[in-house]
Structure 1
Amino acid sequence: MKTILVTGSNGLLGQKITERILSNNLFHLVATSRGANRFLSQQGYIYESMDILDPLNVQAVVEKYKPDAIIHTAAMTNVDTCEDNKEMAYALNVGAVKTLLSICEAQQIQFIHLSTDFIFDGAAGPYDELANPNPLSYYGETKVEAEELVKKALCPWVIIRTILVYGVLADMSRSNIVLWAKAALEKGEAINVVNDQWRMPTLAEDLATGCLLAVEKGAQGIYNVCGKDMMSIVELVKRVAAYWSLDTSLIREVNGDSLNQNARRPAKTGFILDKAINELGYEPHSFEEGINLLVQQINNIQKHKMRVS
Structure 2
Amino acid sequence: MKTVLTTGSNGLLGQKLTEKILAEGRVKLVATSKGANRYPIKSGYDYAEMDILNPEQITAVIEKYKPDAIIHTAAMTNVDTAEADKERCHKLNVDAVQSLISLCKEKDIQLIHLSTDFVFDGADGPYKEEDAVNPLSYYGESKVLAEDLLKNSKANWVILRTILVYGITNDMSRSNIVLWAKGALEKALPINVVNDQWRMPTLAEDLAEACILAVEKSAHGIYHISGKDYMSIADLVRKVADYWGLDQSIIAEVSSEGLNQTAKRPIRTGFVLDKAVKDLNYNPHSFEEGLKIVDEQMKASLK
* TM-score bracket for this pair, using the shorter chain length: over 0.9
Other-structure match for 1:307: none
Alignment of 1:270 onto 2:270: yes
Question: How far off its partner does 1:152 sit?
Answer: 1.6
What does residue 31 of structure 1 align with?
Answer: 31
Matched position secondary structure for 1:62: helix
Paired residue total: 303
1:77 maps to 77
- Taking structure 2 as the reference length, the TM-score comes to 0.99
Alignment of 1:230-241 (within 5 A): 230-241=230-241
Q: 2 CA distance for matches of 1:155 and 1:185?
A: 46
Deviation of 1:155 after TM superposition, in Å, equals: 2.1
What is the CA–CA distance in structure 2 between the aligned matches of 1:75 and 1:267, rounded to whole Å? 23
Partner of 1:193: 193
> 2: CA distance between counterparts of 1:155 and 1:184?
44
Q: Residue 282 of structure 2 aligns with which residue?
A: 282
Identity of aligned residues (%): 64
After superposition, give the CA deviation of every residue in 1:12-36 in whole Å (9 maximum; x if it has no partner): 0000011111111111100000000
**Residue in structure 1 matched with residue 202 of structure 2 by the alignment:** 202
Over 2 Å off, 4+ runs: none
Q: Who is 2:168 aligned against?
A: 168
- RMSD, aligned α-carbons: 0.5
Cα distance in structure 2, aligned partners of 1:10 and 1:59 = 20
Taking the TM superposition and a 5 Å limit, the aligned residue runs for 1:286-305 are 286-303=286-303
Instruction: Give the CA deviation at 1:226.
Output: 0.3
Rounded Cα–Cα distance in structure 2 between residues aligned with 1:24 and 1:170:
18
Deviation at 1:138, TM superposition (A): 0.3
Consecutive unaligned residues in structure 1, runs of 5 or more: 304-309
- What is the rounded CA distance, in whole Å, between the counterparts of 1:246 and 1:262 in structure 2? 30
Structure 2 spans left out of the alignment, 5+ residues: none
* CA–CA distance in structure 1, aligned partners of residues 86 and 156 of structure 2: 29
Instruction: Name the CA distance, whole Å, in 2 between partners of 1:39 and 1:221.
Output: 31
The one-letter code matched in structure 1 to 2:24 is N
Q: TM-score, normalised by structure 1?
A: 0.97
Deviations, residues 109-147 of structure 1 (Å, cap 9, x unaligned): 000000000000000000000001000000000000000
CA distance in 2, matches of 1:108, 1:257: 47
Task: Give the corresponding residue for 1:248.
Answer: 248
Give, in angstroms, the shift of residue 259 of structure 1.
1.2
- Distance in 2 (CA, whole Å) between partners of 1:264 and 1:66 is 40
